[in-house]
Structure 1
Amino acid sequence: MRQNNTPFIAVEGPIGVGKTSLSNKIATHFYYHLLKEIVEENPFLGKFYDNIEEWSFQTEMFFLCNRFKQLEDIEKHYLNQSKPVVSDYHIMKNMIFARRTLKPEQYEKYEQIFNILTQDLAKPNVMIYIHASLDTLLKRIESRGREVEQNIQSDYLQQLSEDYEEFMNHFEKENPEIPVIRINGDEIDFVKHQSDLDYILTVVQQHINKGEFIS
């Protein structure tokens, strides 16, 4: 992956943490194009939450191919034309889920395909990482009422949160040129409290003002 000199902000975190909500608010505030990940359109997702071992490979491959196509189009039609973008995911998240759900022989094949597809895709200039406790995640998943998510097991969600934390720590070490804005979802509620949202937007604006984007 490589960086583009046009602002490209990615919002990441485990299921239910508020990625899409925050991405929407950033896009509206800064007049950025909003890129939303394909979730409910995945025909394997419901089966995956019912039986992770049986449906993990199909689910992860669907996400990989669709996210690759989305990011390829975004780079062509927006980033390469100096049009800023905020996304409620980045394709690098795929490896978090794949490591957790795929069998070793499946993961080896998946990793090879992932590396081939993503080697020339754009990296985000700024990463926003939202994390929260299991209780907070479960409450938000319940409140948004997505039918496909109702069978998510709490132990899977807890493990996913831990995997995200490990991944983001590694990401910061491996990509020192990309600032990571960490948001504690237990303490900051940018949906209910305007002051919390204003704080986040101010921090994002500071990074945009630096303009330290690598071409």
Structure 2
Amino acid sequence: MNSPKLVHIALGSNVGERFLFLQNAVDRLFEEVGEVKDISKVYETPAWGFNGNSFLNACVTVATRFSSEEVLQKLLQIETEAGRSRKGSGNYQNRTLDLDILLFEDEVVETKNLKIPHPEMQNRKFVLQPLQDIAGKEVHPLLKKTIAELLEQTNDKTEINQISEELKLPQKNYSFKNYNYIAVEGNIGAGKTSFSTMISQDFNAKLILERFKDNPFLPKFYEDKERYAFSLEMSFLADRYQQLSDDISQYDLFKDFVISDYDVFKSLIFAKITLQEDEYSLYNKLFHLMYKELVKPELYIYLYQNTDRLLENIKKRGRDYEQNIQPEYLMEINKSYLSFIKSQTGMKVQIIDISNKDFVNNRKDYLALLEEIDSPYPPKGE
């Protein structure tokens, strides 16, 4: 899972409801590209490079997981939605909306369609002035000067005037302030690790990830389930118990926000599927002795995906030992999880069907998932 990177984007409009076009663009950047971290003041300047209406200009800082090329495509789409046409008149023309990538952290990109840093930014006061508002100390990766220095040294003496209206940060309908410990669960390939990692990055949460890759019995289990089932389940239980005990003890659950991509109860769910009756009976006793000692999550999220999507995801991530997993096994796991969830009376549980969502590659799906998770329950103490 990619960590978010900061991209600085210039916004301009000189046609129609100019300020409204800029505000709508900020909102769309939030929906399509990433978290809008900062917004500059708005400035009015004469058209640059052609005779036309005066522009309103601003800059924003956005945290995004998308590549620079992907961001560019999203900017072009947002421009098109605003009625921007790039045909027939070259680069300099009246436009409802103009969006340009200025900086993408310290990346240097030069392709047919994209150049980063923007090759003309140091020559344009209408870019440098708003960019200084939010990134004055950022260093141009090629010129090795800060934005403040570039503004001071630019040869562009165009008159630029700040207007009184200010663009607003997009409104969020989620916060996770009601929870300190969330466990995310799901079937094999459901996306629980990706989602937990994204939450930890976006909300500064402490992240606990299951250490399944280190389990030596897992590849053997997929080759010979009957022989290695008990060894696998016991090793998983011991490791999960130790990891959760050690990791959660490091945090103050009254102050820290902790998210895990598993709950230890999954051990019992999988054991019931894989173990013989006598093995499961012994396992069940050991499990409950250990389980009662662990801190329980305040919210248990189950990400449901249908079997076809699970198989697609498993194939896509390419782990050799998972490629022979059968649909029946995944269906049995889903059934067992749902049975467990229905039996829980003292735990806040939320089942979310993500079979038709792609929250990794589609930010709208991600935002919808956040809103669905954070909305149903009242604050602590109520």
- Gap runs ≥5 in structure 2: 1-177
Aligned match of 1:100:
273
Q: Note if contact 1:127-1:180 (Cα within 8 Å) is conserved in structure 2.
A: yes
Q: Deviations over 1:23-45 (max 9, x none)?
A: 01111111101100011211010
* Counterpart Cα distance in 2 of 1:92 and 1:65: 12
How far did residue 202 of structure 1 move?
2.5
Query: What TM-score, normalized to structure 2?
Result: 0.51
Matched, 1:132 2:305: yes
Structure 1 residue 71 corresponds to structure 2 residue 244? yes
Equivalent residue number for residue 37 of structure 1:
210
Listed one character per residue, the Cα deviations across residues 57-92 of structure 1 (whole Å, up to 9, x for unaligned) are 000011100100111012210145732210000001
Judge which range, 102-111 or 198-207, deviates more: 198-207
Report the equivalent of 2:256.
Answer: 83
Q: TM-score scaled to structure 1, two decimals? A: 0.88
Cα deviation for residue 204 of structure 1 reads 3.8
Deviation at 1:194, TM superposition (A): 0.6
For the pair 1:19 / 2:202, whether they are aligned, the reply is no
CA 79–118 in structure 1, closer or farther in 2 if over 3 Å, else same: farther
Deviation digits for residues 99-121 of structure 1 (CA, Å, limit 9, x no counterpart):
11111111111111111111120
Distance of aligned partners of 1:193 and 1:6 in 2 relative to their CA distance in 1, 3 Å threshold: closer
Larger relative contact order (Cα-Cα within 8 Å, sequence gap ≥ 6): 1
Name the stretch that deviates more: 15-24 or 158-167.
158-167
2:343 counterpart of 1:183: no
- Tell me how many residue pairs correspond in the alignment: 205
Specify the structure having the higher radius of gyration (Cα): 2
Unaligned runs of 5+ in 1: none
The question of whether the paired residues in 1 share the 8 Å contact of 2:180 and 2:254 is answered with no
Q: Cα RMSD over matched residues?
A: 2.0
Runs of 4 or more, structure 1, over 4 Å off, are none
- Offset, 1:206: 3.8
Query: Is the 1:36–1:87 Cα contact (8 Å) retained in structure 2?
Result: yes
The alignment partner of 1:91 has SS state of coil
Identical-pair percentage: 37
Question: How far did residue 212 of structure 1 move?
Answer: 4.5
Q: CA deviation at 1:49?
A: 1.0
> Contact between 2:179 and 2:299, CA under 8 Å: does it hold in 1?
no
> The residue matched to 2:213 in structure 1 has which SS?
coil
Aligned residue in 2 for 1:166: 339
Partner amino acid, structure 1, of 2:350: I
Give the corresponding residue for 2:366: 197
Structure (1/2) with the larger helix percentage = 1
Instruction: Provide the C-alpha distance between the structure 2 equivalents of 1:142 and 1:209, rounded to a whole number of angstroms.
Output: 39
Could you tell me how far 1:209 is from its partner in structure 2?
7.1
Report SS of the residue matched to 2:333.
helix
